[in-house]
Amino acid sequence: MMMKSFIKNGSKYLLFFLGISCLIVSGCTLNKNKNSTELLKKPRVIISSDIGGSDPDDFQSMIHFLMYADRFEIEGIIASPYGEGRAKDIFKIIDLYEQDFPKLKQHGDFPSPEKLRSVTKQGATDASPARGWAEPTEGSDWIIRQAKAENSQPLWILVWGGLDDLAQALHDAPEIVSAIRVYWIGGPNKKWSVHTYNYIVKNFPDLWMIENNSTYRGWIIDDDARTEFKAGTFYENKIKEKGALGTDFGNYYGGSIKMGDTPSVAYLLNGDPDKTEEESWGGSFTRLPYSAFRSFERNTTQDDTIPTYSVATWTFNSGEINSDNKNAEIWMDIDRQRIDGFYEGDGIYKVRFVPKRTGNWKYVINCTAKNIQGMTGEFVSANPWPGPVNAENVRLNSWWSDRTDEDLYLGQYQGAATVSIWREDFLNDWADRFEWISE
């Protein structure tokens, strides 16, 4: 397998090979040299981020993204609902970028802070209901506008949180599906975005999508990294107090690198995005023939196995018709979190959940219907995603996801080694840019 020889022989030779190859491959996004901004093509990009609130790693990823702003045609930065994503938090990082902009622009074609502010939009502030879409937002309307623009290049939508604005845009203008490509950091985000995911998969199986549920972990896990490339030591040696952006970086996780969303950006920085199964800083992926779904009309037990990252739905019939739908409520307490379900009508309540890791799970059902209240259940979640063939699975046509090769796991995380093997390369490249703003 190509990846095995890649690991055996090291990454430097392959990086050189990829760089030379991309000079002759139409549409490749590699620079002509590491610090040049003379590109063959700049990818058109919209970022959708749940920055703010309880999600500090998006601040880290936004700092990284803006330090590579010369490498993209940035057509939008959207604040999405999870993590209390608000546009004000994006503007905060742009304000820092503005302080470093005079030095950055000496090294490349960086967009002005004013340009970045003009394409920053507020997306959904609440999660979508069970149907998977709600009302148009500034963010979803902006996706539609940019997707409909006359341009031969695809519009890349890099989703760092929920799929709400993407789902809304597809609902309101389904014709844009052929104009966009999506790289989504799923995993835990899939749990919070389960309704919109359910809607997109079942209505847009032709969408071009990378669903990264675990590969991104290769950016975070540093167990095998050399000391100077560990999450904390790299900050101390290469980032700390360098420019306004480097100084602010220390406010998140004490500067220790997490940045779980950054592989979506790195995928377009180094590698050929048209060749999803080949190596890139943002991972290597395999075609996903179907998305896994499982449904139950009872409480599950340890005899029930659900593939990790799949959508599981529990349906409960209370036998009682609730005429006041607004007061009908159900939720699942699981993994110390509340997962809200929904009342479908005619006494039927449902809960959707996505297990984000392998192992044994237990839950408690809470419901306004007394004969459902307090029910308990269990199940087992197992790798690899998407699991075995099942009648409930939904077939997909242009979907990609985490590789299942045994030698590409990091712990339980399939495909993560396809990112971790590039750690020294992408961190060294980033360190060079911090030198630009520390001069």
Read off the pLDDT of residues 188-208 as tens digits, 9 standing for 90 and up.
999 999 999 999 999 999 999
- The angle subtended at Cα 146 by Cα 144 and Cα 149, nearest 5°, is 110
How many helices (H) and strands (E) are present in the chain, helices listed first? 15, 19
pTM for the whole thing? 0.91
Q: What pLDDT is stored for residue 288 in this prediction?
A: 98
Please list, in sequence order, all residues whose beta carbon lies within 8 angstroms of the beta carbon of residue 194, skipping any fewer than 6 positions away: 311, 352, 353, 354
Question: Is a pLDDT exceeding 70 seen at residue 151?
Answer: yes
**Average pLDDT estimate for 248-277:** 96
Q: Which residues are registered as beta bridge partners of 181?
A: 156, 208
- CATH 2.60.40.10 location in the chain: 292-384
Q: Which two tokens stand for residue 69?
A: 């702003």
For the chain, the average pLDDT equals 91
Confidence of residue 213 (pLDDT cuts 50, 70, 90): very high
Residue 156 CA to chain centroid, in angstroms? 13
Q: What is the predicted pLDDT for the residue at 6?
A: 42
> Where are the CATH 3.90.245.10 domain residues in the chain?
2-290+395-438
Number of neighbours of residue 58 by Cβ within 10 angstroms: 32
Give pLDDT, residue 30: 38
In contact, 369 and 348? CB cutoff 8 Å = no
Residues 360-397 have pLDDT tens digits of: 999 999 999 999 999 999 999 999 999 999 999 999 99
Pick the CATH number of 292-384 from 3.40.50.2300, 2.40.10.340, 3.30.450.20, 2.60.40.10: 2.60.40.10
pLDDT tops 60 at residue 15: no
Mean pLDDT of all residues in 320-331: 78
> In the CATH hierarchy, which fold is given to the domain comprising 2-290+395-438?
Inosine-uridine Nucleoside N-ribohydrolase; Chain A (3.90.245)
The most confident of 12-26, 29-43, 275-289, 324-338, by mean pLDDT: 275-289
Three-state DSSP state, 66: helix
3-state secondary structure of 47: strand
Answer yes or no: is pLDDT of 336 > 50. yes
Residue 293 has pLDDT above 70, yes or no: yes
Is the pLDDT at 13 greater than 80? The verdict is no
C-alpha span between 244 and 66 (Å, rounded): 12
Q: What is the dihedral of CA 312, 353, 319, 377, to 10 degrees?
A: 80
pLDDT score, position 41: 86
